[in-house]
Amino acid sequence: MKQHELKELSLNEIQFRLEDLEDEMSNLRYQKALGQLNNPLRIRIVRRERAQMKTVIHESESGLRKLTGEKEKVQENGK
């Protein structure tokens, strides 16, 4: 997932996708242990995406980054 795509999501959506990636990572590790992993590169991709999402979450919670998805929801609630 690209950085600009992450910026468009709300914090809740990012956290939901992070949970999905953690489940996927768990399954990939299990497949690797059993020798059934078809695409070993997928582990690297999932690990990188998890790190990017955790960084965005941390930055938004500490006030370093404003998510555009959050701005849209605030504007909708203000109307």
Map out the domains of the chain as residue ranges: 3-78
| Residue 31 CA: distances (Å) to CA of 6, 22, 24, 27, 40 | 28, 14, 10, 6, 10
Residue 29 has pLDDT above 80, yes or no: yes
Burial 30-69 (b: 16+ CB within 10 A, else e): ebeeeeebeeeeebeebeebbebbeebbeebeeeeeebeb
Phi and psi at residue 6, in whole multiples of 5°?
-65, -35
Percentage of residues of the chain with pLDDT beyond 90: 56
What CATH number does the domain located at 3-78 have?
Answer: 1.10.287
Residues 46-74: tens digit of each pLDDT:
999 999 999 999 988 888 777 776 555 55
> What gap in Å lies between CA 56 and CA 11, rounded to an integer?
9
